[in-house]
A and B are shown apart, each in its own frame.
Chain A
Amino acid sequence: MTIAEHTPSEAEIDGLIGGAERVMSRDNAVLRMSEAEAGALSLSPEHEFGDQKMIINMGPSHPSTHGVLRLMLEMEGETVLRSKPIIGYLHTGMEKTGEQLTYLQGGTNVTRMDYSSPLFTELAFSLAVENLLGLEIPERATWIRMMMTELNRMASHLLFMATNGMDLGAVSMMIYGWREREPLLRFFEKVTGLRMNHNYIRPGGVAADLHDGWQEDLLEYLEMLEPRLDEYHILMNGQPIWRDRLQGVGVINEAECLALGTTGPILRSAGSSWDLRRDMPYLAYDQVDFAIPVGEYGDCFDRYAIRLAEIEESIKIVRQCIEKMPSGDYRAQNKKVTPPPRGRIDESMEALIHHFKIFTEGFKVPAGETYAAVESPRGELGVYIVSDGSSTPYRMHVRAPSFVNLQTLPHLMENGLLADAVAVISSVDPIMGEVDR
């Protein structure tokens, strides 16, 4: 708990609340009606819908909806008036599942939520559990976590570059984005054993130490990536078609972002420089230098440009991690939480017992509740855990940034063209796995 340094004045608060009227109103761009109501409305002959307006569905299986997002759009000609994102197609009750799994198994569950940046959910989950346990993790584990999540941020943003390009017709960008992401996934495979859904960051540290020669692997990759990002600048930023397609489309201001709970690149595109890595540092972010790219206009172009700039900042952080990576343990030497090394099991009865206990019953976590948040590529990713003192969480809730950010969609698309809706969805960059959980 930090001490209050600055209490905002009345004017500042008014300034923040003012400017958000568009989203504060109940009668706005959000189409608040059920499927049945919408169906009845479009069929009724007396209603104005018969003439000019109509309700159409976009998705759930539409190439530009990034998974199974369905949008109910109220259209007048080519113009979107109101809309409603309909979600839940990927809902498998992962929060309920999390209540049945031990804290050690929990990682395998949460990593499947945000499948394009799985390490972040693992990190937030582990931080929450460690907070409840009061467990200090070794410095090396902290730095490995920071480096791996930054690499994951790069992979996630490169995927965004690819899908954003694909959605807007810059098909070569799709190939380039995937091409640059591929070596990163290979690096993840080398370190964690899996390309995605790693379950690498676990309560107590990380699952495995970095392999020999990881520095060379990474430096080689970064040297390859940097000139290619320069190529992106030439290919996309310097291209009038690309700029015209994105600039001024899907505009949102800072007050609206705050009112809607929006975080991440969308909030930063609107001019706020809020980033948890700098403003509420976790891991060792207070020991590395990086800038926070901030937009000005809050449009699709700013959101794209911020993500491109964030890749460059992540490269800086990764380079510092390579330089400063401390030696030592990659996980806490707490016999109750981290399983013993395989070799010890053959030698020590204690180790065998601990191994058996951790993998059957799991470790017990003191009762209480806590919330841990990290800055994921999409915004604040929080994990709220209530423990009843047993070895499984009593309640586990994941604050998924995409879930909250989706609420900006109707406001971003309001009075825009249907073709721009594609650009807007793409710029919000929702991952449906974490929206539906």
Chain B
Amino acid sequence: MAEDTETTEEETASDDTEAPAEETETEETDDTEHDGADETDEDAAPDEELLYGVPVHHAFGQTVIFADAESYLDLFGELISDGFQQVVDLCGADYANHVRNDLPASVIPERFEVVVNLISHARRERIRVRCQVAEGASIPSLFDMFPGTEAMEREAFDMFGIEFTDHPDLSRILMPEEWNGFPLRKDFDMGRIPVQFKGAPGQS
């Protein structure tokens, strides 16, 4: 009886995963086609859809554009003049052990990503910028354009160790000032961390 249950369970489970994943599968095939075209012919790159001069991707009905550290500030300058006057969110992400398949072919994947969500009140639109940041590399701060990113960049630094150059006060915000390590990194071990607070028993 028990064995029967297990087999049915496995069958149903494998059936299930296919149904909701259909959407992504089609997207994946799109991407691989792009990949294939690029490998064979360098000139095929312009086929890629561009927005503000950078690759664009439509994820679940949302517009995502991809920046690199060099074009980062210019891109935001362009976005401001196009009406995206508010950065609502900025966060980091660590892709140490996950291979993304939603990156356009011309984007070179790096370990970290800085994800910025902007909003245009006049056009009632949102746009998301994903910027690849290599481990140990830095990215310019958006403070001079959007001072509201000060705390968000501090959080990204605190949690992932992403350096923002020219930030007015790049210090820890949520963790204690003397904390070692970056908690939201994938290699930050969970559950086996000695207490790091000042004056804790057993601490010098």
Contacts and interface: CB of A to CB of B under 8 A. Distances in A.
Q: Please indicate whether A and B come from the same complex rather than being unrelated chains.
A: yes
Interface of A: 1-2, 4-8, 12-13, 16-17, 20, 23-24, 26, 30, 32, 34-36, 87-88, 91, 93, 95-96, 100, 131-135, 258-263, 272, 274, 279-280, 335-336, 349-350, 352-354, 356-357, 364-371, 373, 380, 382, 384, 386, 388-389, 394-395, 397, 399, 403-404, 406-407, 436-437
A261 B24 contact: no
Given A4-B125, A34-B177, A366 B23 contact: yes
A88 B176 contact: yes
B148 A2 contact: no
B89 A371 contact: yes
A279 B119 CA distance: 11
Interface in B109-150: 115, 117, 121-126, 128, 143-144, 146-150
A353 B12 contact: yes
A1 B63 contact: yes
22 contacts: A4-B125, A8-B122, A13-B80, A13-B81, A96-B184, A258-B86, A280-B126, A336-B19, A349-B8, A357-B12, A364-B20, A364-B21, A366-B20, A367-B100, A367-B101, A368-B102, A380-B88, A384-B89, A384-B91, A395-B93, A397-B91, A407-B148
Contacts of A384: 89, 91, 115, 117
Interface of B: 5, 8-9, 12-13, 16-17, 19-21, 23-24, 27, 58-64, 80-83, 85-89, 91, 93-94, 98, 100-102, 115, 117, 121-126, 128, 143-144, 146-152, 155, 159, 168-169, 171-177, 183-184, 188, 190
Contact of B9 (A7, A12, A100, A356): A356
A385 to B, nearest CB: 10
A274 B121 CA distance: 7
Nearest to A95: B184
B117 A88 contact: no
Given A13-B80, A353-B9, A134 B125 contact: no
B151 A436 contact: no
B102 A367 contact: yes
A386 B193 CA distance: 26
A5 B83 CA distance: 12
Contact of B85 (A134, A258, A354, A406): A258
B77 to A, nearest CB: 11
A333 to B, nearest CB: 14
B148 A404 contact: yes
Q: 3 closest pairs, A vs B, by CB?
A: A261-B148, A32-B169, A399-B89
Contacts of B83: 7-8, 13
A419 B116 CA distance: 37
A382 B27 CA distance: 25
Given A88-B173, A367-B102, A369-B102, A134 B148 contact: no
B20 A133 contact: yes
Given A93-B183, A260-B147, A353 B5 contact: yes
Given A93-B183, A259-B148, A384-B115, A87 B173 contact: yes
A80 to B, nearest CB: 19
Nearest to A382: B89
B122 to A, nearest CB: 5
Contact of B148 (A262, A335, A386): A262
A23 B143 CA distance: 10
Given A93-B183, A336-B16, 20 more contacts: A2-B125, A7-B83, A16-B85, A88-B172, A88-B173, A95-B159, A131-B61, A132-B60, A259-B147, A260-B147, A260-B148, A261-B89, A272-B121, A335-B16, A352-B5, A364-B21, A369-B102, A389-B21, A406-B151, A436-B174
A353 B6 CA distance: 9
Contacts of A365: 20
Nearest to A90: B174
B168 A399 contact: no
Contacts of B80: 13, 17
A335 B15 CA distance: 12
A405 to B, nearest CB: 10
A7 B120 CA distance: 10
A96 B149 contact: no
A32 B154 CA distance: 12
A134 B61 CA distance: 11
Contact of A1 (B58, B81, B149): B58
B40 to A, nearest CB: 26
A124 to B, nearest CB: 12
Contacts of A134: 20, 23, 60
A382 B151 contact: no
B178 to A, nearest CB: 10
A339 to B, nearest CB: 14
Contacts of A394: 98
A2 B123 contact: yes
Contacts of A368: 24, 27, 59-60, 102
Contacts of B21: 364, 366, 389
A96 B121 contact: no
Contacts of A373: 88
Contacts of B5: 349, 352-353
Given A1-B62, A357-B13, A399-B117, A261 B190 contact: no
Nearest to A399: B89
